Structure formats: structure tokens, C-alpha cells
Structure 1
Amino acid sequence: MQIIIDIDDPVPIFSQLVEQIKQAVAGEKIQPGDPLPSIRQLANDLDVNSKTVAKAYKLLERDAVIQSRGYRGTFVHPEAKDNCQIDIKAWATSQFEEFILAMRDAGVTDSEMRITFNNVLNGK
């Protein structure tokens, strides 16, 4: 698997990493159970901050494309190929759109929604 980062691309580096790893899985360039480089190793290889790679790995793990096995390393998830098809952003957008329409139908203003949303996010 070869990852190429384009620093001039407006897409954030962590997103480029996520997409390229998902493409490698979908294209069967890497298989379920295959090991991935450590965060530190991949960051060094790509000359990027290790926090950037860690963020990409965290998102891929959330989406069950990769799995961490503690000190043994990070591996391609057994169901990775199927899970690459899931678009969490599209799902979240759809959920928010439905919710906002319901709130507007109930007469809640955009300002009230923003304030309430921020309060809920901040645990108030």
C-alpha cells in the first residue's frame, strides 16, 4: 500500500489518509488481518505529525476499517471492506436535516436550535 499526501490539497491530511486506506481496503490492496504501520512509523514515512496519523487511525477504528490490538499493533478489520461503504458524514447530515426540519415544523427558531445545540454539546 502506497500513501501519497498532497500538502497543497485543500482536503486535510488526516482525511487524505482515511480515504487512501479505505481505497486500499476496497481495492483489495490490503486484506483483513494485514498489519498497518504504527502511528509513529507512518508519520515518519509521510513526514507528517503523528497526531495527524493518530486522528486518521482513530476515525478508521471508529468506522471498523481497522482495529487496534494493543501492543501487538493495528490491523485491517475482518469486516473492513463492507465497512468502507459506510459514509458516517452522509448519515449524520441526514439525521441533522430530519431533526432540523422537525424543529422548524414545531416553530423552533434557528437561533434557539444553535443555543440549545451548543448547550447540549457543552453538557449544560
Structure 2
Amino acid sequence: MQSLSPADVIQRQLDAYNAKDVDAWLATYAADAQQFALHGGLLAAGHAAIRSRVLIRFAEPDLHAELLQRTVMGPVVVDYERITRNFPEGKGTVEMLCVYEVADGLIQKASFAFGEQVVTVPALAL
């Protein structure tokens, strides 16, 4: 069986994210994977912590990631995405830069840079 390319792994991760399929999404991550704020602190380490973190996000009814650009350099995949979210202030979007390191067909490390939140539908209008 041929292993998936790093870009294929990240596409599977994105598809599972948009389907809110936590098991398929988590299957793209190594058991000891780590998530970081880009150039910052650790957000989650290991499947249990990563699952807990994403389940909160998957509870948002309008959650959807739109891929704007992808760059691949060997085992590193960088996605530029626009995420539709349900913020406490209302429905809106946030742009993210996601840097993934893939080895052995799994995400080993992921680092995220978060852009400014833009509320498009205030909570009072929902």
C-alpha cells in the first residue's frame, strides 16, 4: 500500500474537519502529535487533548474551513484558510495560517497563526 503524500494527509484532515468527523480528523494525527500557536505556546499534545480541543469547535453549527492557498515543501504543508465560526459576538470568519509537519503519513506537529475575527452576523441578529 502506497503511503499518502503530506498534501493528501492534510486534505483528509481538512475534509474530516468540514464533515465534523472527529474520528477521521484525529486519524490524520500521530498519537503524540502536538498543536501550537505559531511561534508561541503549546495548545494541545496527544490525541486526548487534541480531541477535547476540536470537539468544542465541532459543536459550532456554522463551522467550515475554506482553503484559500496551500504550499507544500517536502513534509511541511502550509494552508491559508478562512474559517467560518460561531463566536460569542455572532457568526463570522477568521483567517488562519496552518503549518503542518507530516511524517509516516500522520501530522506530527501543527502550528496556527490566527487572524482578526470578523463578525458578519451579530449575535443579536441570530
Q: TM-score, normalised by structure 1?
A: 0.29
Q: TM-score, normalised by structure 2?
A: 0.29
User: Is the strand fraction higher in 1 or 2?
Assistant: 2
User: Is the helix fraction higher in 1 or 2?
Assistant: 1
